Copies of this chain bind each other. A is one copy, B any other.
Amino acid sequence: MTQTLPTAAVLGARAFAALAGLNRFSDEPGKLTRLYLSPAHRQAAEWTRGAMEVAGLSAHIDAAGSVQGRREGAKPGAPSVMIGSHIDTVKDGGRFDGNLGVVAGILVAQALRDAGIVLPFPLEVVAFGDEENVRFPTSLSTSRALAGEYRQEWLDGRDTDGITLRDALLGFGCDPLGIPALARPPASVAAYLELHIEQGPVLEAEDEPVGIVTAINAQKRARVRVTGEAGHAGTVPMRLRRDALAAAAEMALALEEIASAHDQAVGTVGVFRPDPGATNVVPGAVDFTIDFRCPRNDTLASMDRAIATRFAEIAERRGVSLAISPYSHDDATPMAEPLQEALAAGIARTGANLKARRLPSGAGHDAMAMARLCPAAMLFVRNEKGISHSPLEAMTEADAGIAIRVMLETVLELARRAA
């Protein structure tokens, strides 16, 4: 049956051609900027609907602005397999982030239709519109609409021009009152699969074109304030100092050490502001942020305890005071094991002698929202430079082709299991 399917090379070429079409729509000339419900988003949604229809899907733009395509299977009304990602971007973003996942879904549907394959389940392809959450104060609102977790208060949120989400939806041609009805009934979706460019350098470093996501990481963020005593840089002897910067520097290194010692964890100090911040003054205080993530909630809790203990020990020894104020905490979203296995089978069936490399996702995705509704899994594609949210984001056509071929084989694997 697979003899009639397009090769990875063909799929790669089709994907790059499709991306060239889709990515002509931008809110800023010379850059790829496509914010939720913008004119460029509207054009991209129409393009996506057209592509879906030509690929054999029936398609519409839903009440939240997502493009939904569907092709019925052998058993109408059976739980569907859904392939999705997003077509909104950050400002001056990359070409692959989100867009490639949508194109992949369309190309998989097209290949199956062209090969005359009737699946035992409906195949859906969805292009979400609000994954980057750049324009409005929302959180994955378009995929949460399908998952039944839309928050009505989002509609009153405003963009920087003062336009509410409600008005922006109306302007886009959507009916905000129709959003609650987008919620899919439990068990109506059997699997959500998302192909996405890796937003880091792991696959590039290990020379693997694709990887299977194990979980979307648990994450905690906190603001930390260390208060010592300001002093003259020339006149306060070292032994009499309570140098807030030295204490905070030691804490930054402790976080690095703790993250390195926990499985698949990361830890980052990104903001670091000494007060007063003058060459000839021993800093009296430092404000800094910590951000730490890992695939398991219990590992995150262990890191949290280690950080509290080590920071307190450093503060005590140096005679400075310490305040840790957490302001964000997300549990891990494990990806469904059976779908990870299906992706691994899909990888094996490409015959390309690829490893089924497993890795966590350090960034959020629509799959986080969909995992509340149904089993969900993700396939990462190698990012040539590991750079994300930037026009420097890069991928080879060959890798895109391999990844889409894996998605195709994975859908066929699920069909085999359903049969």
Contact = CB atoms under 8 A, between A and B. Distances in A.
B260 A238 contact: yes
A181 B234 CA distance: 34
A201 interface: yes
A280 B388 CA distance: 12
Interface stretch (A51-59, A140-148, A245-253, A350-358): A245-253
Q: Taking the full assembly, how many copies of this chain does it contain?
A: 2
A209 interface: no
A278 B271 contact: yes
A323 to B, nearest CB: 17
A191 to B, nearest CB: 24
Given A200-B237, A201-B240, A270 B253 contact: no
A362 to B, nearest CB: 3
Given A252-B249, A274-B271, A362-B232, A266 B237 contact: yes
Contacts of A232: 199-200, 362-363, 388-389
Interface in A362-381: 362-363
Contacts of A199: 232, 234-235
A256 B246 contact: yes
A78 B269 CA distance: 65
A252 B198 CA distance: 34
B266 A272 contact: no
A246 B253 contact: yes
Contact of A234 (B256, B272, B278, B363): B363
B291 A280 contact: yes
A279 B291 contact: yes
B270 A272 contact: no
A283 B268 CA distance: 9
Given A235-B361, A293-B234, A240 B270 contact: no
Contacts of A362: 232-236
A267 interface: yes
Contacts of A234: 199-200, 217, 219, 266, 291, 293, 361-363
A113 interface: no
Given A232-B200, A235-B198, A363-B235, A270 B279 contact: yes
A386 B234 CA distance: 12
Interface in A281-304: 281-283, 289, 291, 293
Nearest to A380: B235
Contacts of A268: 233, 243, 279-282
Nearest to A205: B240
Nearest to A265: B238
A259 interface: yes
A398 interface: no
A310 interface: no
B200 A231 contact: yes
Contacts of A200: 231-232, 234-237, 240
Interface of A: 198-202, 205, 217, 219, 221, 231-240, 243, 245-246, 248-250, 252-253, 256, 259-260, 264-274, 277-283, 289, 291, 293, 361-363, 386, 388-389
Given A205-B240, A233-B362, A234-B293, 9 more contacts: A200-B231, A202-B237, A232-B363, A235-B266, A243-B268, A245-B269, A268-B282, A270-B278, A279-B291
The 8 closest A-B pairs by CB, nearest first: A234-B362, A200-B235, A249-B249, A235-B362, A233-B268, A199-B235, A249-B252, A279-B289
